[in-house]
Amino acid sequence: MAAEDDSFPWDQDSILSRDLLSATSAQLCYENLNTSCVRIPYSTGPRLILYAVFGFGTVLAVCGNLLVMTSILHFRQLHSPANFLVASLACADFLVGLTVMPFSTVRSVEGCWYFGETYCKLHSCFDVWFCYSSIFHLSFISVDRYIAVSDPLAYPTRFTLSVSGKCILFSWLLPIIYGCSLLYSGADEAGLEDLVSALTCVGGCQVAVNQTWVFIHFTLFFIPSLVMITVYSKIFLIAKQQAQKIEKMSDRTANAAESYKDRVAKRERKAAKTLGIAVAAFLLSWLPYFIDVIIDAFLGFITPTYVYEILVWIAYYNSAMNPLIYAFFYPWFRKAIKMIVTGKILRENSSTTNLFPE
């Protein structure tokens, strides 16, 4: 997110030494330009594999999130403050797949940036904007679900359309104000002028971030992560307590409440499982990247290029996994997908279809 493509050596001599050592296998991004960046290309087999892996993640992020947005916006039964928040999350992940991942695929595989200096900066802005927006959305969704579980009777009056709208607005505005103002002001490069000068070449798209802003990047990740972990831990405890209360129902009402007890227990187990997978996937996707970035900044940018690229793409893949985690686990979404794919949503009154048959 914050740092693009190559890992950053800490001085110009090390960069020149690296280029001299790899001169026999290195090529130029632009053969006819002396100011071109140097690249070390992959052989045909690994290139095809990388394009397939990155391309699959891109298609999954675009198509999966597009299905989520279409389902929620089309079917009236899904029009709720919570689902609008999920649709907004899907939009952020969709834009990651549409504006960031395809260009990062070429950059990662070819080792060069072929899309111009202007879009390099804009691509970096999109990267920060949409990825942080996705993270903030996930955090707000965790709070929404905590309110729904802890106080279900008051939930409709507490998490209203207005509250949902404010969460969505915050999740979009803060990342773009932060990311684009930082990148276009050059504040992230303060104190790294020699490094930036050494990295500047035609066909490169590197963003050097100093220690101060790396720490701020990490903080903006850590706070939503802490919220999610704390909230989901409380949700697990509440779900467990509710299940225990149902189990302790008196014999006098046991027969009447049996089917209800089973439904509630099943729903709670499913919710706990889904939330657990969501938290685990989020942390597994983003935590390695942010840990590496903050350590790297304080140890002189020592991470090898291929390791950095792996961590970046694991983080990107979270945008592709979110539709699977937050939507594909639910029968109503599978029904919505079937109607979308088969074209049934084009029929008259399809928006009023009941997606929750009992």
Rounded to an integer, what distance in angstroms lies between the CA atom of residue 60 and that of residue 131?
A: 16
Average pLDDT over residues 11-20: 41
Beta strands at 27-28 and 38-39: parallel, antiparallel or unpaired: antiparallel
- Cβ atoms < 10 Å from Cβ of 69: 18
pLDDT at residue 262, as a whole number = 54
28 φ/ψ angles, rounded to the nearest 5 degrees: -95, 145
Cα–Cα–Cα angle for 149, 150, 151, rounded to 5 degrees: 100
User: Would you place residue 99 in the very low, low, confident or very high pLDDT band (cuts 50, 70, 90)?
Assistant: very high
Residue 150 has what pLDDT?
80
The reported pLDDT for the residue numbered 6 is: 40
CB 192 within 8 A of CB 210: yes
Nearby residues of 86 by Cβ (< 8 Å), 6 or more positions away: 68, 72, 141, 326, 327
**CA gap 3, 25 in Å, rounded:** 26
Give the ranges where 186-304 is alpha helix by DSSP (H). Answer: 193-199, 211-247, 251-298
- List b or e across 193-205, with b for residues whose CB sees 16 or more CB atoms inside 10 angstroms: eebeebbebebbb
Residues 287-298, mean pLDDT to the nearest whole number: 87
Contact residues for 351 (Cβ-Cβ < 8 A; gap 6+):
74, 75, 76, 345
Residue 295 predicted with pLDDT over 50: yes
Res 19: pLDDT: 41
pTM of the model: 0.83
For residue 91, what pLDDT band results from cuts at 50, 70 and 90?
A: very high
The predicted pLDDT at position 271 comes to 59
What is the residue-averaged pLDDT of the chain? 81
Domains of the chain: 12-16+46-236+273-345 (1.20.1070.10)
Question: What is the reported pLDDT for 237?
Answer: 82
Can you tell me the distance from the alpha carbon of 247 to that of 241, in angstroms, rounded to the nearest whole number?
10
The encoded tokens of residue 346 equal: 């084009």
**In this predicted model, what pLDDT tens digit does every residue of 248-260 receive, in sequence order?**
665 445 554 445 5
- Could you read off the pLDDT of 173-226 as tens digits, one per residue? 999 999 888 888 877 777 777 776 767 788 888 777 778 888 888 999 999 999
Residue 177: what residue type? I
pLDDT at 4 > cutoff 60: no
Q: Is the pLDDT of residue 25 over 80?
A: no
Structure confidence at residue 57 (pLDDT)? 94
pLDDT in tens, 110-160: 988 999 888 988 999 999 999 999 999 989 988 888 888 887 788 888 899
Nearest CA to 99 out of 115, 117, 84 is that of 115
Q: In the prediction, which pLDDT does 21 show?
A: 38
> Is residue 279 over pLDDT 50?
yes
